[in-house]
Every structure is written in C-alpha cells, then in structure tokens.
Amino acid sequence: MVLATNLGFPRFGAGRELKKATESYWKGTLSLNDLFKTAKELRLRHWSMQKDAGINHIPSNDFSLYDQILDMCCLLGCVPERYGWSGGTVDIETYFAMARGSKKAPAMEMTKWFDTNYHYIVPEFYKGQTFNLASTKIFDEFEEAKAAGIETRPVLIGPITFLALGKMKDEGLEYQDLVKKLIPVYAQILQKLQKAGATWVQIDEPYLAMDICEGTKEGYKAAYKELAKAAPGLNILATTYFEGLRDNLDLALSLPVQALHLDLRRAPEQLDIVLAKIPKGMMLSLGVVDGRNIWKNDLSASLAMIEKAVAKLGTDRVMVAPSCSLLHSPIDLDLETAMDPQIKSWMAFAAQKLAEIAVLAKGAEKGRDAIQNELTQSDKIVQDRKISDRIHNKIVQDRLAAVTPEMARRKNAFPLRQQAQRARYHLPTFPTTSIGSFPQTPEIRKARAAFKKGDLDRNSYEEAMKKEIAYVVQYQEKIGMDVLVHGEAERNDMVEYFGEQLDGYVFSQHGWVQSYGSRGVKPPIIFGDVSRPRAMTVKWSTYAQSLTQKPMKGMLTGPITILFWSFKRDDVSYETSCKQIALALRDEVADLEKAGITIIQMDEPAIREGLPLRRADWDLYLRWAVESFRLSVCCVEDTTQIHTHMCYSEFNDIIESVGALDADVISIETSRSQMELLDAFVAYKYPNEIGPGVYDIHSPRIPDTAEMVDLLVKAKKVLDPDLIWVNPDCGLKTRGWAEVEPALKNMVDAARTMREKQKKAAA
C-alpha cells in the first residue's frame, strides 16, 4: 500500500506552549517537572494529530527542547569538556548549558540549518574524541508514543551529516577516524530501537544532496555498510532534502537502505532518473508537499508524479511525504482568523499539509476517483491563483519587462561620484555614522502595541515616535556624529515594516516558525506581484532631517533581504519577486532623493544566506541578486551617496558580488573577529568606501575609546585611510541606552583620535 508519511513536525505547539514553558523554566518560574509535562503533552497532541490525519509513518524524536542537533550531541556523548560533564546520561543542566552557556562555560556555536532560517547547535570534535550512548531520549519518546497506542518512526541525524555539520576544534583530527568511532554508537542505537519494537528508522542525511568530497562519499559507503549489518530487519529510510541528489545519485542509490527520500519540490526533475536507476527492492519516499512554504499543494500535479513512481515500482514501494520536516512551516492555518479569506484559501500550514499527504497517498492507492472531490477543489485553487488579479498586476509585470541594463547602472563610476560627494558633504576623514536603529525601548514597544490594538490613535502614536526621533537626533548631534540616522523607532522589524506597506504582501497572526531554541519568527508572506502604493519612509526621514543641519541618512531594507526573510511565492521565480521588490524600493529611493535625503542606506544582511546550497548555482543567483540591488538604488545623482550594510557575513565566497553592488559605502561586521573579516576586502582590493564595525553591538559590553582606536589602526594598515568610515557592527535596537550612549561617544572619540594621529603624521 502507498504509505502516507511525515518527516517531522513543528514543536512549539499552536499556542507556542513550548516556547513559553522553556523560557519560564530558564527564568525559574516553572519547575522542571512542569516543563517536561508540557513537552509530553505537546508530543502526544502532535502524534495524535498526525494519526488522526491518516499518517502511517509518524516520526518520533523529531521533538526537541532546544534543537535536534544538540539532542544528537547528547545521544552520542559528544559533550565538550568545558561543561564538566562526567559521563553517564547527559543531564538537563548540561543540556541547556551547551545551548545557552552557563557561568562556567560559553554556549556552543549556532549556525544556520542549510538554507533555512532555523539555527542548529554546531557539534564540536576534539583530539581524542570518543562517542558513547549518553541519552535515552530517542528510546523514551518511542516508548511514550507506543504507550499511547501510536507506533512511530524514530528520527536520527545520520552519522555523515552529523560529522559534516560539526567543527573540528583541534588540529590533526582524522575524518575517517571519527566515522569509525561514531558507527558503533549508531549501531547500538539501531539495535536498541529494534529491540523496543521499531520497524522503521528515519536517518536524515541531507548532505547526500550537497557538494561533498571523496572522503565524505567514502564515509557514506563505510557507515551504511555497517549500519545495515547492525540491525538486520530494521528498515532504514535515508532522507535527503533542500536539494537534488545530482552527482551523488549513484552513491545514494548504492547505500544498503530500504528506502530513500527525495525532495521533489526543490528538485522534481530527479524523479525520472531515480526511477530509471533505483535498485530492486528499494522504496522511494516522494517529498511532494512543500515543507518550507505555506502554499496549498497542487494535488493533481503531485499525484501525477506519484502515479509515475507507482507505475514503475508498485504501490508497496512508494511513500508520500513532505519535501522536508514540517518544522519549517507554521503549525495550523485554522488559527488565522483575520486573514483575507481568498488568500487564506490558497494556503496550507503543517496541519493542512498532513491532510494533503494522506489524500495523495489515498489517491495513489485507490485511484483518482477515490479523491475526486479533493482534486477538483485543488484544481480550482490552482486556477484561482493563476488568474487572480490580486496576484497578477499587469503594471508591475510590464514595468519589470521594460527594465533596461542602464537602469542598474549609476550615471558615473565610483571615483567621479566620490569627488562629487566629497564636494557636497565635506565630511572629515574617518566619518562617523551608525547602522540605523537605536534602542527599541519598552516605551516604544508599548506605544506600538497600543497603536496596533487601537488603544492609541495614529496621531498620538506618530507624535510619540517623533519624540523618539528628536531625542536620537539630538543625542547624535551632541556627541558629534557626522552622518545621522533617525533611529528606526517606528519600525517593528526591518522586513515586516516594508512588507506592511507593500502591495502583494499578507501577514499571519500565528504563522510562527522556529528560528532557534525558544525563538521563532513570523515571516511576512509574499502572495502576489509586489508594488509600492505610496512612499514608505519619506515622512520620517524628512522630519528627522528638519531637526538638524547634519546629513540625515535614509534607511531602507534591500530587495534580497526582503525576499529571503519572507515566505516566497511558488508560482514565479525568486528573481522575479526580488526585482519587483527592487522596483518598489527604487521609487522610494527616488522619492527620498527628491525630498532632500541624499545619503541612503540599503541594508542587505541576507545576501549571503540566499546563496544556493550547490556551488554550481551560485553564479546565477549572484547575478540576479546584484542586479536587483543595483536596480533598487541606481536612479540617483552622483552626489547622492548610497550605503549598504551587511552583517553576520563571511565575505570570501561572495566578495566579487559585494564589489559589484557598487555601493558608495559599505558597513560590515568586523569587531568580534578583530578585523579579520576585512581580509576578503583587502585581498580583493575593494575600491569603494568601507566602514568596518568597531563596536560589537551583540554584547552589552561598552567598548572604550582605546580599543576602538586599536581596531581602526588595524583597519588603516590594510585599507586606504581615506576610505574608512567609523561605525558599529550593526543596528542598536536590541541594546539599552545605558550602553549605547557611552559606547557611541567613545566611538566618536576614537574617530577624532584617528584624525589627530593623521594630522600629526602629516605635520
């Protein structure tokens, strides 16, 4: 029979119960027992939901109190020494210390899970690394479900992916040696699961769909040979997701596993070749329902793919699945009570996706007639979206079609622009500025909440924000900043703020997706062609400018960042959406310039995370990303100075494209790495002006003048001093005034010191 299966489910709960419980536990207002109780209730609730939806293979151990990779570290006894763990089962204090740090030891590093916005804890490997079974979670949860009458398919991160995700912290560690040490523990886990009654396990190996080296390929072969022997009779499903198998296809098909999962949303074209090559007896899990997005499935199109597989393999060798774990979708569309009904009718969150999977499995098993109603309904939705004039805006499309290369080019090259800008602004050397936001104080948040609720009228809200802006302007004047900002008090979030003012966007009330630990994000949703009905920031920026003689920098979020921090359309390319957003921003840039705001910053912190997972796809992405950015800003006079800002970025891979953005000034994060991140710019001979961050805003620490001077001296050694700006690493919105005031004052003093040094050297 065609099985309806799932790979993982969101953990927080419809009311974000898990988030609230863990945070209360950390605060000390909830007992450990109560935290465990909430966790257990959520697991049972979610397993039941899946069972009721008709899912045959329900995952367990996909739940986590913090992160599934952290859980794997504990399962495998891979606990860094600094936590003082003395062996045995990893206890909850150690677990949370690894996640969040403790008085004794800093937290483990966190990084992005492939190209999602989920962040995992990075495993650490040291000289003399050993592994041993050190957690019972995966077994406990299997038993827990069984006791509730639900048979589950336990989920593990596979050994090769686990190693690939981690970091070798010592020199001289041998990869193959780590593989060898890891396998016996995995073997033990499989044996224990089998003994407990599991018939299937899901082993996630997303690295099978990434660019991997020969050593890793060897690792795969060696590991799975052993795992297949470890628990004969226990069926292994190896999953890949977020990309197609491509050059690793033969490797994947050669592994001695009972089933292989394919992401057919990201790479539908791989189905044919897999069907042509699949060995006898291997089952296929077809990831046809998008686990990363919020759109309803096109059931007819999915069924066509499944039928193709069934025709070749028979019903007994086919599973229907989401493309990846549903962890990356919001939990339940039914919670959305305020959403426009037509737009809502196009969507499916995790709970609705379960139903889609079950229907598809039924259709594949019993024939199209058995699900005729659902198919008709789905076809209608597909058609509705195809022709809806709420999605398709002819004006936007015509405008995009008429874009010319000149529109993405400044009037003159940087050296001429630089001259023009210097003549206009007369800034000192080492000019000081900030990245945009100032502290989002409790008062600001309270005012916004009251305004949203309707307790505060628009006028009073705007007056309150103006007062904040005035304060920020005054403060910057007082300490002697050169290029001022208005502080972004009126913005909830750098993407949401623009999404709310653009056509083609819709917002959910409960569309939370886990970002890391107890933190979630609620991405805005792009549902149609994007356009700007009216100016978005001009009023605020001109107000701020009216308060000062100094230049006021206009602040915008760039098209790439707006795209990647939103749920995207699945009916047009990313490039199309990105360029539509770019055109909308272009109008804003033009309006700002017209209104006398002639220093404008277009933030692009997401440019690097948009990089495709496979290198072969990078060039194409970078080409349209750069074009989009340039399209958004290249409508201004030479005297108008375009800034951009990027943070959390390793630039080596993309430095040429960063150069190609051709911003007059770029500010980047460099203080934590002691200017190391500058290397890429130096090696590339980055020609335009650059502000290497000198104040680490991620820490409450207040840097003193001397240490910022040190950093600037370092920067001056490798860059032309005439190109250097002085600024913090990122926006200040998460900091308090008590830290920001002295820190920025010290920063301005550091710039002054640099100028004096320069004068002395010249004299």
- Nearer to Zn ion (CB atom), residue 274 or residue 562: 562
Beta pairing, strands 503-506 & 525-531: antiparallel
Residue 444 CB, shortest distance to Zn ion, in Å, is 19
Q: How far is CA 246 from CA 103, 115, 271, 354, 403, in A?
A: 46, 18, 11, 28, 34
- Nearer to ligand GLN (CB atom), residue 163 or residue 494: 494
Residue 497 CB, shortest distance to ligand GLN, in Å, is 10
- Nearer to ligand GLN (CB atom), residue 96 or residue 475: 475
Question: How many whole angstroms separate alpha carbon 182 and alpha carbon 190?
Answer: 13
Residues found near Zn ion in the complex (CB under 5 A): 605, 647, 730
DSSP symbol at 281: T
Residues numbered 530 to 589 that lie near ligand GLN (CB under 6 A) are 555
Residue 480 CB, shortest distance to ligand GLN, in Å, is 20
Residue 437 binds which of ligand GLN, Zn ion, none (CB < 5-8 A, kind-dependent): ligand GLN
Residue 645 CB, shortest distance to ligand GLN, in Å, is 5
Give the residue among 109, 224, 249, 251 at the shortest CA–CA distance from 169. Answer: 109
Residue 436 CB, shortest distance to ligand GLN, in Å, is 3
Residue 552 CB, shortest distance to ligand GLN, in Å, is 14
Residue 494 binds which of Zn ion, ligand GLN, none (CB < 5-8 A, kind-dependent): ligand GLN
The 3-state DSSP class for residue 305 equals: helix
Label each residue of 493-528 as H, E or C.
Answer: CCCHHHHCCCEEEECCCCCCEEEECCEEECCCEEEE
- Nearer to Zn ion (CB atom), residue 358 or residue 555: 555
Which region, judged by CB under 6 A, interacts with ligand GLN, from 41-49, 329-337, 346-354, 730-738? 730-738
Neighbours of 716 (CB within 10 A): 16
The 3-state DSSP class for residue 610 equals: coil
Residue 731 CB, shortest distance to Zn ion, in Å, is 6
Residue 674 CB, shortest distance to ligand GLN, in Å, is 20
Of 35, 647, 663, 754, the one binding ligand GLN by CB under 6 A? 647
- Nearer to ligand GLN (CB atom), residue 261 or residue 448: 448
605 belongs to the binding site for ligand GLN (CB under 6 A): yes
Q: How far is CA 338 from CA 438, 451, 508, 509, in A?
A: 32, 17, 8, 8
Which region, judged by CB under 6 A, interacts with ligand GLN, from 281-289, 433-441, 458-466, 533-541? 433-441
Residue 490 binds which of ligand GLN, Zn ion, none (CB < 5-8 A, kind-dependent): none
**How many residues contact ligand GLN, by CB under 6 A?**
13
- Nearer to ligand GLN (CB atom), residue 495 or residue 680: 495
Which region, judged by CB under 6 A, interacts with ligand GLN, from 368-376, 397-405, 431-439, 446-454? 431-439
- Nearer to ligand GLN (CB atom), residue 418 or residue 561: 561
- Nearer to ligand GLN (CB atom), residue 49 or residue 585: 585
Residue 725 CB, shortest distance to Zn ion, in Å, is 14
Q: In the numeric block, which tokens belong to residue 61?
A: 């151990």
DSSP symbol at 153: E
- Nearer to ligand GLN (CB atom), residue 227 or residue 730: 730
Beta pairing, strands 665-668 & 259-263: unpaired
698 is catalytic: yes
CB distance 321 to 6 below 8 Å: yes
Question: How many whole angstroms separate alpha carbon 107 and alpha carbon 733?
Answer: 23
The catalytically annotated residue of 46, 57, 645, 698 is 698
Residue 436 binds which of ligand GLN, Zn ion, none (CB < 5-8 A, kind-dependent): ligand GLN
Label each residue of 550-569 as H, E or C.
Answer: CCEEEEEECHHHHHHCCECC
Question: How many whole angstroms separate alpha carbon 260 and alpha carbon 318?
Answer: 10
Among positive and negative, which fits the CA dihedral 431, 717, 666, 668?
negative
- Nearer to ligand GLN (CB atom), residue 488 or residue 664: 488
CB distance 727 to 685 below 8 Å: no
Residue 555 binds which of Zn ion, ligand GLN, none (CB < 5-8 A, kind-dependent): ligand GLN
Question: How many whole angstroms separate alpha carbon 2 and alpha carbon 308?
Answer: 13
CB distance 168 to 217 below 8 Å: no
Residue with tokens 């699949």: 278
Residue 565 CB, shortest distance to Zn ion, in Å, is 13
Residue 678 binds which of ligand GLN, Zn ion, none (CB < 5-8 A, kind-dependent): none
Of 166, 287, 691, 731, the one binding ligand GLN by CB under 6 A? 731
CB distance 568 to 574 below 8 Å: yes
H-state helical runs in 634-723: 655-660, 679-684, 705-718
Of 645, 666, 708, 712, the one binding ligand GLN by CB under 6 A? 645
Q: How far is CA 280 from CA 24, 235, 259, 422, 632, in A?
A: 52, 15, 11, 71, 53
436 belongs to the binding site for ligand GLN (CB under 6 A): yes
CB distance 694 to 708 below 8 Å: yes
Residue 728 CB, shortest distance to Zn ion, in Å, is 9
Question: How many whole angstroms separate alpha carbon 362 and alpha carbon 341?
Answer: 28
Residue 438 CB, shortest distance to ligand GLN, in Å, is 8
Question: How many whole angstroms separate alpha carbon 590 and alpha carbon 633?
Answer: 8
Of 285, 352, 437, 518, the one binding ligand GLN by CB under 6 A? 437
- Nearer to ligand GLN (CB atom), residue 359 or residue 494: 494
Question: How many whole angstroms separate alpha carbon 326 and alpha carbon 12?
Answer: 12
Which region, judged by CB under 6 A, interacts with ligand GLN, from 304-312, 328-336, 571-579, 725-733? 725-733
Which region, judged by CB under 6 A, interacts with ligand GLN, from 289-297, 590-598, 609-617, 727-735? 727-735
Residue 625: partners with Cβ closer than 8 Å, 6 or more residues away? 560, 578, 607, 610, 657
Query: Per-residue string for binding with ligand GLN, 476-515, x by CB under 6 A?
Result: ------------x-----x---------------------
Residue nearest to ligand GLN (CB): 731
Residue 691 binds which of Zn ion, ligand GLN, none (CB < 5-8 A, kind-dependent): none
Of 733, 740, 746, 747, the one binding ligand GLN by CB under 6 A? 733
Q: In the numeric block, which tokens belong to residue 227?
A: 């795992």
Which region, judged by CB under 6 A, interacts with ligand GLN, from 440-448, 528-536, 615-623, 729-737? 729-737
Of 42, 435, 481, 747, the one binding ligand GLN by CB under 6 A? 435
Question: How many whole angstroms separate alpha carbon 69 and alpha carbon 557?
Answer: 32
Of 189, 730, 743, 748, the one binding ligand GLN by CB under 6 A? 730
CB distance 585 to 644 below 8 Å: no
Q: In the numeric block, which tokens belong to residue 141?
A: 């949860």
Question: How many whole angstroms separate alpha carbon 554 and alpha carbon 539?
Answer: 11
Q: What positions carry a catalytic annotation?
A: 698
Q: Which residues bind ligand GLN (CB under 6 A)?
A: 435-437, 488, 494, 555, 603, 605, 645, 647, 730-731, 733
